[in-house]
A and B are shown apart, each in its own frame.
Chain A
Amino acid sequence: MPLDTSTYALSLLRLDGRRWNELRRIHAQISTQAAADGSAYLEMGNTKVICTVSGPSEGRRGQGQGGEGGKARIEVEVNLAGFAGVERKKRARGDRRIAELQHTLTQAYTSTLLTHLYPHSTILITLHILSLDGSLLAATLNAATLALIDAGIPMSNYLVACTAGSTSFEESDNADPLLDLNGQEEQELPFVTVGILGDGDKVSVLVMESRVQMSRLETMLVVAVDGCKRVREILDGVVREHGRNMVEGAVG
């Protein structure tokens, strides 16, 4: 099903009725699970992710004791539920896409977390994807950030992510950038996932798997970074709200 770009040009509304610079509804919760050291639940539109963090703890036996060089090792496990997509699909453990996602997350958090504070230990981030509708990497990054904050693991700043795309592949002048693509749009359009650290312009994660004209990339990046800043505000609000509730619960 090709995205009807002609309609977009006429009404400037996307398939789900958003304008080009609108995010989907983001809903997040912190401390959803009592058994984990840190946990979070995040919805970006219809993409729903649960993240749990355990650790820093002594690494599992048989895998070497924690990280090397006086730093904590970060392990990421992503589990795509069979019922997440439109059709029921069971993914094997060694799925390439999942492995790549895990690698990206591991790299991102190895540089963001202050791992030198926990030598010889392991931080395990487990992500369950319950429902999948685009922006998978962005949603997992945001959920993991919240869960790590809940676990109280020091990090230099919020690592927040967002996607941005462009309305057409063709070589035309009137291609608009789009913010926060959903699953349908992701299948049709070129898009880039950007993760930034804090509220500056420091890009920490940048993943792009589709082809796009060089001239469009810059606008896409600008839109994505702008989206990240808005996501950061939302997540910051969630963390502060949770903190307020905790303090009020402890006092009264």
Chain B
Amino acid sequence: MAPAATSQVLLSPAELSFLHSSLLLQPPVRPDGRAPNQFRPLVAETDILPGANGSARICFPDGTEAIVGIKAEVEKSQWRANLSEDGAHLGTGGGDVEMEEDGGKPQEEASSHGNGEMSWIELSIEIPGFRDDDPLPIFLAAMLSEGLLAGEELKDRLWINRRFHWKLYIDILLLSPPLSYPLPLLSLTTHLALLSSRIPKLKSEQDEDPLFDDDWEASLYLYPKLPTGKRIDRPPITLLVMAVGSNIIFDPSKEELAVAEAVLAVSVRESQRRENDTSGRRLNLLSIRSVDSPSRLTPSGVPNTMNTATGGSAPVSSQDAVAQRESIDQKGVWNPPRGGVKRALITRIIKLVLEPNGVAQEVMDGLNGVEV
């Protein structure tokens, strides 16, 4: 999926070649002077909307800005067959099954474990200048909800009782035109908004119609806090990573993306910790997606051998041109990258992200500072 016009950079082949060769150096020289795993500074705030269960706003220094608002509403669950028998959750809404009285079994399954459903979380992304059904918002929404739905925890927490559940609406607004690929921005904002979301405390018991404590001070965090103030677990984050040669670069700007050889979106989550577990955190990899690099759409430079003005011979056809380009590898002439990513490179990226005190942990720690 191409980020398409969103990250079209107007750079000449010579400029692209310069950027590419400086990113190839050891260590890479980035246009803004950052270290390869250094993120751009950002401005973030949470709990900005009184009318939402949770909300957050993040501004990146390039001017892109996103707001996420989360609303939870009580919804009637569809009754599912066989749920009480063996705990198997097929997730098929048994519309034709009659509602049975649940007197036969003792109330042993009145816990939320494993009862969450994917449809309880709805995520929508709005990007100015794009329609709802354009590929970019849909693709981004799919990538973000993929990470959220990967764990059981969030879904299970939305379970109220066997008849009711919370429906979580996550509305993501990108307030600025998408200057660079907005995935990390949206992911971080969603992360913060989820951390700040609270749902009212339940007062009713078991399968009664739900009744909630109307004291907002008593409400519970969707991602519960331990008495120490730390969270049991945290929502996933998705990071954008790109590779040039053997250099791995985090949080690429749009100029850097224009010469990327591979772009990957890596979703990471901090795994659930036990009450008395103080031995640091474990990070889980949720998903990796390769994003089609915008560099493939950049115009290529013309080497001297193919330029009649410099004594070369122009190619006869476009096929011929491609064949000739393939055979020569001249330095300083920009050639859009072709082909895929080496497995070893992907392994290195995963290692860099997941290792203790690695990039993902650094980002999580940074976001910790924002918390309410």
| In the complex, per-residue mask of A65-85: 1 if CB is within 8 Å of any chain B CB, else 0 | 000000000000101011111
Which residues of B sit under 8 angstroms from A36, Cβ to Cβ?
Answer: 63, 176
B67 on interface, CB distance cutoff 8 Å: yes
Q: Are A35 and B179 in contact (CB under 8 A)?
A: yes
A251 on interface, CB distance cutoff 8 Å: no
Which residues of A sit under 8 angstroms from B132, Cβ to Cβ?
Answer: 93
Q: What distance in Å separates the Cβ of B76 from its nearest Cβ neighbour in chain A?
A: 16
Name A52's contact: one of B67, B124, B169, B175 (CB within 8 Å). B175
A34-B73 contact in complex given A48-B49, A83-B49, C-beta closer than 8 Å? no
Q: What distance in Å separates the Cβ of A35 from its nearest Cβ neighbour in chain B?
A: 3
A245 on interface, CB distance cutoff 8 Å: no
Query: DSSP majority for the A interface?
Result: loop
Q: What distance in Å separates the Cβ of B200 from its nearest Cβ neighbour in chain A?
A: 14
Name B62's contact: one of A34, A48, A77, A85 (CB within 8 Å). A34
Q: What distance in Å separates the Cβ of A231 from its nearest Cβ neighbour in chain B?
A: 22
Q: What distance in Å separates the Cβ of A160 from its nearest Cβ neighbour in chain B?
A: 23
Quick check: which of A123-131, A169-177, A234-242 contacts chain B, the rest being far away?
A123-131
Q: What distance in Å separates the Cβ of B34 from its nearest Cβ neighbour in chain A?
A: 18
B103 on interface, CB distance cutoff 8 Å: no
Which residues of A sit under 8 angstroms from B171, Cβ to Cβ?
Answer: 81-83, 88
Name A35's contact: one of B51, B67, B126, B176 (CB within 8 Å). B176
Q: Are B177 and A82 in contact (CB under 8 A)?
A: no
Q: In the complex the two chains form, what is the Cα distance from A52 to B70 in whole Å?
A: 23
Which residues of A sit under 8 angstroms from B128, Cβ to Cβ?
Answer: 77, 79, 126
Q: In the complex the two chains form, what is the Cα distance from A81 to B65 in whole Å?
A: 15
Q: What distance in Å separates the Cβ of A234 from its nearest Cβ neighbour in chain B?
A: 21
Which residues of B sit under 8 angstroms from A126, Cβ to Cβ?
Answer: 128
**A126, closest chain B residue (CB):** B128
B253 on interface, CB distance cutoff 8 Å: no
B325 on interface, CB distance cutoff 8 Å: no
A33-B49 contact in complex given A83-B71, A83-B169, A87-B73, C-beta closer than 8 Å? no
Q: What distance in Å separates the Cβ of B327 from its nearest Cβ neighbour in chain A?
A: 39
Q: Are A131 and B179 in contact (CB under 8 A)?
A: no
Q: Are B169 and A131 in contact (CB under 8 A)?
A: no
Name A90's contact: one of B49, B73, B124 (CB within 8 Å). B124
Which residues of A sit under 8 angstroms from B126, Cβ to Cβ?
Answer: 79, 81
A42 on interface, CB distance cutoff 8 Å: no
Q: In the complex the two chains form, what is the Cα distance from A252 to B171 in whole Å?
A: 41
Q: In the complex the two chains form, what is the Cα distance from A87 to B55 in whole Å?
A: 15
**B169, closest chain A residue (CB):** A88
Residue picked from A81, A132, A133, most chain B C-beta under 10 Å: A81
Q: In the complex the two chains form, what is the Cα distance from A85 to B50 in whole Å?
A: 11
Which residues of A sit under 8 angstroms from B229, Cβ to Cβ?
Answer: none
Which residues of B sit under 8 angstroms from A128, Cβ to Cβ?
Answer: 67, 173, 175
A139 on interface, CB distance cutoff 8 Å: no
Q: What distance in Å separates the Cβ of A55 from its nearest Cβ neighbour in chain B?
A: 12
A50 on interface, CB distance cutoff 8 Å: yes
Q: In the complex the two chains form, what is the Cα distance from A35 to B185 in whole Å?
A: 14
Which residues of B sit under 8 angstroms from A132, Cβ to Cβ?
Answer: 51
Q: In the complex the two chains form, what is the Cα distance from A213 to B70 in whole Å?
A: 42
Q: Are B124 and A83 in contact (CB under 8 A)?
A: no
Which residues of A sit under 8 angstroms from B131, Cβ to Cβ?
Answer: 93
A84-B51 contact in complex given A33-B59, A34-B62, A128-B67, C-beta closer than 8 Å? yes
Name A33's contact: one of B50, B52, B169, B176 (CB within 8 Å). B176
Q: Are B64 and A35 in contact (CB under 8 A)?
A: yes
B147 on interface, CB distance cutoff 8 Å: no
B61 on interface, CB distance cutoff 8 Å: yes
Name B73's contact: one of A46, A50, A54, A88 (CB within 8 Å). A88
Q: Are B51 and A83 in contact (CB under 8 A)?
A: yes
A86 on interface, CB distance cutoff 8 Å: yes
B69 on interface, CB distance cutoff 8 Å: yes
Q: Are B62 and A82 in contact (CB under 8 A)?
A: no
Which residues of B sit under 8 angstroms from A77, Cβ to Cβ?
Answer: 128
A82-B71 contact in complex given A33-B176, A35-B63, C-beta closer than 8 Å? yes
Which residues in window 83-135 of A have CB below 8 A to B?
83-88, 90, 93, 126, 128, 130-133
Which residues in window 289-307 of B have CB below 8 A to A?
none
Q: What distance in Å separates the Cβ of A12 from its nearest Cβ neighbour in chain B?
A: 27
| In the complex, per-residue mask of A24-47: 1 if CB is within 8 Å of any chain B CB, else 0 | 000000001111100000000010
| In the complex, per-residue mask of B217-249: 1 if CB is within 8 Å of any chain A CB, else 0 | 000000000000000000000000000000000
| In the complex, per-residue mask of B51-81: 1 if CB is within 8 Å of any chain A CB, else 0 | 1100100010111110101110100000000
A82-B50 contact in complex given A33-B63, A50-B175, C-beta closer than 8 Å? no
Q: What distance in Å separates the Cβ of A147 from its nearest Cβ neighbour in chain B?
A: 12
Interchain residue pairs A-B with the least CB separation, the first 8: A35-B63, A83-B69, A34-B63, A88-B71, A35-B176, A82-B171, A83-B52, A88-B169
16 extra interface residue pairs, beta carbon distance < 8 Å, beyond A32-B65, A90-B124: A33-B59, A35-B63, A35-B176, A35-B177, A46-B51, A48-B49, A52-B176, A79-B126, A79-B173, A81-B126, A83-B70, A88-B169, A93-B131, A126-B128, A128-B67, A128-B175
Pick 6 A–B contacts, CB within 8 A, sort by A.
A33-B175, A35-B65, A83-B169, A93-B131, A128-B67, A132-B51
Interface residues of A (CB under 8 A from B): 32-36, 46, 48, 50, 52, 54, 77, 79, 81-88, 90, 93, 126, 128, 130-133
